[in-house]
């Protein structure tokens, strides 16, 4: 500290603080009777003042420059860790908070390769235990094994070679390491039992506990008839987005009470298929995509007004709706007879 600045600081100190700063045994020198004693007094005053200034400076430096442990904890809470997609953990949805810290969010659709031109489809499945169920997953054509390796997140339960997609806590898709060391992508198909409540699928596989987990529902016309007549009806129907909270609540309540009878039950599903025409099937058929708060989508459920049933590919059948629920669903997704 420069001399001038030190002198200015000393001069600005109130006398009472200088007196209080002196040791008690020195207070007897406060009354000065000669010039020599006065010089000694002044020197001691300056010495005490310097010590006081240094002590105050050290205290202020520690107080404001060195954060306390409580301050560090508070700072972590106010400025949470940033995930790799530059999103504060406080901004993450309820499902996302449980994923591994630092996991970048990977969109499942970015991992899938279009296989519509494939001449022959071979169904490859895998099974994993999810609570009381054995879940069946079917293999999906995906990007390279190396990219899947980079896209895997935390392990699914205690399974060493089975992973969530990075940034996900739902189990609609899983990444598995094969015996040869390569990685494969699988999509949930159904539980391996004769019947089970669809509410268990919503909760265990998709992470849906209430209608609040559903942001919107995209409704598209069925496409089982791609003749000119069928495409004309598809164009007339168009695409509908259901965003009304009451409508979403009603749809959720209905599907969460459904019973699923598993796959390969085409004989139970009546969507109006016949050898002559599928036009009516298109007219009364709708494909639903649920857009979720956790940024995932459910695109498997299909509805037919012909029998008032939901169903999925692979012959996954659900119970027929009662008349009230049938009317409610068809009003919301705009199935006109």
pLDDT tens readout for residues 111-144: 999 876 555 568 899 999 999 999 999 999 999 9
Give the pLDDT confidence score for residue 29 in this predicted structure.
34
Helices and strands (DSSP H and E) totals, the chain: 10, 15
The listed range with the strongest mean pLDDT (13-27, 98-112, 176-190, 264-278) is: 176-190
Q: Return the pLDDT at 114.
A: 81
Q: How far is CA 315 from CA 61, 79, 157, 264, in A?
A: 72, 49, 29, 4
- Please give the C-alpha separations between residue 45 and each of 59, 163, 299, in angstroms, as whole numbers: 21, 73, 83
- Any residues with CB less than 8 A from the CB of 100 and at least 6 apart, and which? 153, 154
User: Cα separation of 246 and 216, whole Å?
Assistant: 11
pLDDT band, very low/low/confident/very high, at 277 (cuts 50, 70, 90) = confident
Strands (DSSP E) contained in the chain are 125-130, 133-140, 152-155, 162-165, 173-177, 183-191, 196-197, 214-221, 240-242, 259-260, 285-292, 297-298, 302-304, 309-312, 316-317
Q: Which of 11-25, 74-88, 280-294 has the lowest mean pLDDT?
A: 74-88
How many angstroms separate the CA atoms of 274 and 173, rounded? 34
Tell whether the torsion through CA atoms of 117, 122, 128 and 133 is positive or negative: positive
Give the integer Cα–Cα distance in Å for 277 and 317.
Answer: 22
Q: What's the chain's average pLDDT?
A: 79
pLDDT of residue 58: 54
Which has more confidence, 93 or 125? Answer: 125
Identify the residue with better confidence: 32 or 250: 250
Strand, coil or helix: 330? helix
- In this model, does residue 325 exceed pLDDT 70? yes
Tell me the C-alpha distance between 101 and 167, whole Å.
Answer: 9
- Under DSSP, the state recorded for 82 is B
pLDDT at 103: 85
CA 54 to chain centre: 52
Mean pLDDT value across residues 228-249: 95
Lowest mean pLDDT among 104-113, 116-125, 231-240: 116-125
Answer yes or no: is pLDDT of 101 > 80: no
Q: Model confidence over 191-213: pLDDT tens digits?
A: 999 999 999 999 999 999 999 99
Confidence at residue 41, expressed as pLDDT on a 0 to 100 scale = 43
Confidence band for 84, pLDDT divided at 50, 70 and 90: very low
* pLDDT tens digits for range 56-77: 555 555 454 444 444 433 333 3
Helices (H), 24-183: 35-65, 69-78, 145-151
Taking only Cα atoms into account, the Rg of the chain, rounded to an integer number of angstroms, comes to 36
Q: Does position 235 have pLDDT exceeding 50, yes or no?
A: yes
288-307 b/e with 16+ CB inside 10 Å = b? bbbbbebbbbbbbbbbbbbb
């Amino acid at each position: 500290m420069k001399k001038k600045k030190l002198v200015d600081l000393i001069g600005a100190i109130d006398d009472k603080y200088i007196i209080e700063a002196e040791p008690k045994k020195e207070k007897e020198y406060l009354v000065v009777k000669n010039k020599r004693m006065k010089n000694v007094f002044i020197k001691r005053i300056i010495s005490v003042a310097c010590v006081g200034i240094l002590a105050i400076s050290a205290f202020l430096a520690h107080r404001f420059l060195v954060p306390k442990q409580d301050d560090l904890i508070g700072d972590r809470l106010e400025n949470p860790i940033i995930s790799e997609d530059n999103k504060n953990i406080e901004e993450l949805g309820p499902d996302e908070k449980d994923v591994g810290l630092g996991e970048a969010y990977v969109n499942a659709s970015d991992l899938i390769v279009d296989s519509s031109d494939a001449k022959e489809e071979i169904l490859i499945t895998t099974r994993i235990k999810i609570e009381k169920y054995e879940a069946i997953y079917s293999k999906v054509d995906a990007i390279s094994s190396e990219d899947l390796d980079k896209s895997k997140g935390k392990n699914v339960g205690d399974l060493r070679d089975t992973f969530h997609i990075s940034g996900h806590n739902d189990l609609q898709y899983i990444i598995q390491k094969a015996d040869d060391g390569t990685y494969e992508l699988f999509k949930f198909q159904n539980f391996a039992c004769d019947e089970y409540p669809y509410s268990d699928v919503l909760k265990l596989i998709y992470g849906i506990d209430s209608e609040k987990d559903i942001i919107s529902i995209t409704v598209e016309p069925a496409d089982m008839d791609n003749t000119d007549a069928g495409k004309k009806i598809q164009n007339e129907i168009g695409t509908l987005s259901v965003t009304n909270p009451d409508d979403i609540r009603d749809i959720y309540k209905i599907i969460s009470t459904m019973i699923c009878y598993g796959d390969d039950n085409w004989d139970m599903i009546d969507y109006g298929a016949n050898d002559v025409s599928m036009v009516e099937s298109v007219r009364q058929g709708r494909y639903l995509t649920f857009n979720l708060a956790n940024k995932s989508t459910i695109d498997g459920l299909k509805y037919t007004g012909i029998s008032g049933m939901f169903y999925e590919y692979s012959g996954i059948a659900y119970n027929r709706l009662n008349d009230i629920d049938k009317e409610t669903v068809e009003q919301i997704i705009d199935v006109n007879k």
